Amino acid sequence: MDLRPAEVTSILEKEIANYRGQSAMQSVGTVLSVGDGVARVWGLDDCMMNELLEFPGGVRGVALNLEEDNVGCVLLGDATKVKEGDQVKTTGRVISVPTGNSLLGRVVNALGDPLDGRGPLAVGEDDYWMIEQPAPSVVERRGVHEPMQTGIKAIDAMIPIGRGQRELIIGDRQTGKTALLVDAIINQKRTGGGDPKNPAQVICIYVAVGQKQSTVVDVLRKLNAHGAMTYTIIVAASANEEASMQYLAPYGGCTMGERFRDEGRHVLVCYDDLYKQALAYRQVMLLLRRPPGREAFPGDVFNLHSRLLERAAKLADNAPEINPRYKKGGGSLTALPVVETQENDVAAYIPTNVISITDGQIFLETALFNAGIRPGVNAGISVSRVGGAAQIPAMKKIAGGMRLNLAQYRELAAFAQFGSDLDKATQQVLRRGERLTELLKQPQYQPMSVEDQIMVIYAGTSGGLDDLEAKRVLEFEKAFLAHMRDNHAEIAQAVIKDKGVSDASKAVLDEAIKTVKAQLLAEVALAADKGKAKAAEAPKAAAPAAKTDKPKHG
Ligand SMILES: Nc1ncnc2c1ncn2[C@@H]1O[C@H](COP(=O)(O)OP(=O)(O)OP(=O)(O)O)[C@@H](O)[C@H]1O
Ligand SMILES: [Mg+2]
């Protein structure tokens, strides 16, 4: 075989020209001790805060304590596979989650790994975003000014939420907190018909922290049944998962939302709930031997929630010019964190922290809930500090006086129990309040469009229902909305367009209220007649039975 030197050199030259040095540095450390899901590792001198570490057997961990001679890290996964003396490698990657459209409709864990058995996500390397991101700065934001309709009358009318706002939902256990979030997610279907490709469609993310798995499955089933999963991602770190996963889940969910926000979309992120996240954080930090403070929470538990909730924002239209990180301006991320209280104690450590971070709070009360006032929103102490600017004008005008009405009602109702001689004005307040309270009741999974809400609330606040029996108010609502849809469909559009409810619309509404009330009264009269007829027949049949009963009671 004869070698042609020219050819050999040309090949070698080409190889040399194409050579790219691709060596990667990886530090390797040794596990000093392991227990309770926490490992201490020696020898990782260049380890970063929050860096993902690799343990043998596919177990991953996050570096959380960078100390002089060792790194404290929590394990994400089966901790029993890790032993003293095992080798640990750094990955050079701060903990990150997959983002993007392929997550829609999926159920994933805190690290973005699918849990729904529907195969891997179609994501590339660029789709992995770090779970801790800086919050948008002041100049990159703009004031909250668009409504985030929850479809719940009591909230949209009195405690309106705007896009980009952070509104806390707080209450004891079993007061309908999760129900409220689910309804708000279902209601977002109105924004874009449930089609995630429609730029107007609000993307929803439900982060379940420390919930029972059955609760998560229930939420998934309900969202599916209402066609809401097409634009929703569920991030689940159930109660049976490691505390580390529960503590990380909200950040992961937020990052997934930020991807959409930075592309100019509107996002609603629900954290259910942050009290459980704080408990998980406390557990992890105590195991890492950070000093405990009030209620044994570590000193930075405030920061845990503030740096998460600060990431909710309404971006300015020119945000991309200020910071190239944003692909498109005008997007928003609304946060609805939930905090569970013990015995209505809103002055406990975590509730006060989160109350001070958010732009308002919705109090759900056990007493109201058990009295059948569902959702059990206490309108007196609930507030939304920025949402008013986002409420649509017609709703603002007609619902403006309602809070005051209800507050007066509640004050007088307690007092009126003791006396029967009430003056006219007091009676009127009680009458109106009773009907408004009734009007704000709403069953689950039936969010109402804002135009329907405006029309029914108009019926209440205009006094149109004052002469109707309180227990028939919801029946009226149903008949009234059907009547408006069938006969005056244009009014629904008019109340959205007009800057208030115009006099012409008011005339139509007043007329419709009268008609529907008359219909209801006629039905009552008919039913009463039937009842009388039955009662007339009844004594004959009932008489013998009464006789046989007598000896027992006598
Ligand atoms: N508007 C409503 N009308 C009727 N029932 C409701 C309503 N809202 C909630 N419920 C019912 O009340 C119960 C508790 O609701 P939910 O689970 O949402 O409360 P929670 O505060 O999230 O409870 P937990 O503290 O267990 O998380 C559920 O059975 C739910 O179906
Ligand atoms: Mg719940």
pLDDT in tens, 61-84: 999 999 999 999 999 888 889 999
Digit-coded pLDDT (tens) for 502-522: 999 999 999 999 999 999 988
Q: Is cis: bond before 466, omega within 30 of 0?
A: no
Q: Rounded distance, CA 250 to CA 346, Å?
A: 22
Query: Is the minimum distance from the CB of 447 to ligand 1 under 6 angstroms?
Result: no
pLDDT of residue 208: 98
Above 70 in pLDDT, residue 245?
Answer: yes
Other CB atoms within 10 A of residue 471 CB? 9
* Confidence (pLDDT) at 413: 84
375 C-beta closer than 6 A to ligand 1: yes
CB 246 within 8 A of CB 209: yes
Cα–ligand 1 centroid distance for 554 (angstroms): 46
CA–CA separation, 184 and 196 (whole Å): 17
Report the percent of the chain where pLDDT is more than 90.
Answer: 77
Distances (CA, A) of 55 to 97, 171, 307, 445: 19, 41, 29, 45
Q: Is the pLDDT of residue 402 over 50?
A: yes
For residue 490, the model assigns a pLDDT of 93
Q: Does domain 143-346 have CATH number 3.40.50.12500?
A: no
Three-class DSSP category at 121: coil
Ligand (nearest to CA of 208): 2
CATH 2.40.30.20 residue ranges for the chain: 28-94
**Ligand 1 atom at shortest distance from the alpha carbon of 364:** 21
d(CA 495, CA 506): 10
Q: What are the Cα distances from residue 194, in Å, to 16, 123, 197, 229?
A: 54, 22, 9, 8
Q: Which CATH superfamily is domain 398-523 in?
A: ATP synthase alpha/beta chain, C-terminal domain (1.20.150.20)
The residue to mutate among 366, 444, 474, having the most atoms of ligand 1 within 8 angstroms of its beta carbon, is: 444
Ligand 1 site-directed mutation target among 153, 175, 272, most atoms within 8 Å of CB? 175
Give the dihedral of Cα atoms 114, 118, 119, 125; nearest 10 deg.
-50
Q: Which helix (H) or strand (E) holds 496?
A: helix 489-497
Q: Is 50 in the pocket of ligand 1 (CB under 6 A)?
A: no
Residue 259: name the closest of 357, 339, 325 by CA. Answer: 325
Phi, psi (rounded to 5 degrees) for 128: -85, 120
Task: Report the alpha-carbon distance of residue 236 to residue 213 in Å, rounded.
Answer: 9
Please name the residue that has the structure tokens 């007339």: 536
Whose atoms come closest to the Cα of 341: which ligand?
A: 1
Q: In angstroms, what is the span from residue 182 Cα to ligand 2's centroid?
A: 10
Ligand 2 geometric centre to CA of 169 (Å): 11
Q: What percent of the chain has pLDDT over 70?
A: 95
Q: Which atom of ligand 1 is nearest to the CA of 211?
A: 27
- Which is it for the CA torsion 214, 216, 219, 220, positive or negative? negative
pLDDT tens per residue, range 281-297: 999 999 999 999 999 99
Q: Please state, in angstroms and rounded to a whole number, the distance separating the CA atoms of residues 146 and 454.
A: 17
| Confidence at residue 553, expressed as pLDDT on a 0 to 100 scale | 47
Q: Which two tokens stand for residue 228?
A: 């809401």
What confidence score (pLDDT) does residue 536 get? 74
Task: Tell me the three state secondary structure of residue 128.
Answer: strand
Q: How confident is the model at residue 238 (pLDDT cuts 50, 70, 90)?
A: very high
CA–CA dist 267, 185 (Å, integer): 10
pLDDT of residue 554 exceeding 70: no
**Is residue 539 very low, low, confident or very high in pLDDT (cuts 50, 70, 90)?**
low
Looking at the DSSP bridge assignments, the partners of residue 72 are 40, 65
CA distance 169 to 336: 7
Say whether domain 28-94 belongs to CATH 2.40.30.20.
Answer: yes
Q: Give, for ligand 1, the residue of 374, 437, 439, 441 to mutate: max count of ligand atoms closer than 8 Å to Cβ.
A: 374
Ligand 1 atom with minimal separation from the 182 CA? 18
Give the C-alpha separation, 207 to 217, whole Å. Answer: 13
Q: Is the CB of 366 under 6 A from ligand 1?
A: no
**Where is 276: in which H helix or E strand?**
helix 274-287
User: Residue 315 in 3-state DSSP?
Assistant: strand
Ligand 1 binding pocket includes 177 (Cβ within 6 Å): yes
The helix/strand/coil state of 169 is strand
User: Using a 6 Å cutoff on CB, does residue 266 contact ligand 1?
Assistant: no
How far CA 4 is from CA of 9, 15, 16, 94, 510, in Å, comes to: 9, 17, 19, 51, 101
pLDDT of res. 1: 63
Would the pTM of this model clear 0.85, i.e. be above it? Answer: yes
Among candidate residues 367, 429, 377, 384, the one with its CA nearest the CA of residue 404? 429
Nearest ligand 1 atom to alpha carbon 215: 17
What's the average model confidence in pLDDT over 433-455? 95
User: Range with the lowest mean pLDDT among 91-95, 307-311, 422-426?
Assistant: 422-426
Highest-scoring range by mean pLDDT, 385-389, 416-420, 442-446, 465-469: 442-446
Among 221, 240, 232, 145, CA closest to 184: 232
Ligand 1 in reach of 444 Cβ (< 6 A): yes
> Does the Cβ of 176 fall within 6 Å of ligand 1?
yes
User: According to DSSP H, which parts of 43-176 are helical?
Assistant: 153-158
pLDDT at 347: 93
Q: pLDDT tens digits for 96-144?
A: 999 999 999 999 999 999 999 999 999 999 999 999 999 999 999 999 9
Residue 324 structure tokens: 């190239």
For residue 54, give the DSSP letter.
Answer: E
* Residue 210: burial class (beta carbons within 10 Å; 0-12, 13-18, 19+): buried
Q: Does the Cβ of 173 fall within 6 Å of ligand 1?
A: yes
pLDDT tens-digit profile of 193-227? 999 999 999 999 999 999 999 999 999 999 999 99
Residue 374 CB–ligand 1 contact under 6 Å = yes
The overall average pLDDT reported for the chain is 91
Rounded to 10 deg, the angle between the 349-357 and 274-287 helix axes is: 120
pLDDT band of 552, cuts 50, 70, 90? very low
Decide if pLDDT at 411 tops 90.
no
Nearest CA to ligand 1 atom 7: 444
Pocket of ligand 1 contains residue 443 by CB under 6 Å:
yes
DSSP character string of 180-227: HHHHHHHHTHHHHTT-TTSTTSPEEEEEEES--HHHHHHHHHHHHHTT
Tokens of 307: 């740096």
In the predicted model, is pLDDT for residue 161 greater than 50?
Answer: yes
| The one catalytic residue among 385, 403, 410, 431 | 385
* Residue whose CA lies nearest to ligand 1 atom number 25: 173
385 an active-site residue? Answer: yes
What does the pLDDT read at residue 540? 53
Check residue 521 and give its pLDDT. Answer: 87
Lowest mean pLDDT, pick from 36-50, 141-155, 381-395, 525-539 = 525-539
pLDDT of 166: 97
150, 153, 177: residue to mutate for ligand 1 pocket, most atoms within 8 A of CB: 177
Query: In terms of Cα–Cα distance, which of 100, 189, 164, 99 is closest to 310?
Result: 164
pLDDT tops 60 at residue 168:
yes
Predicted confidence at residue 197, as pLDDT, reads 96
Does residue 216 contact residue 116 with C-beta atoms inside 8 Å? no
Q: Which ligand is nearest to the CA of 362?
A: 1
Task: List where CATH 3.40.50.300 sits in the chain.
Answer: 143-346
Ligand 1 atom 15 nearest Cα: 176
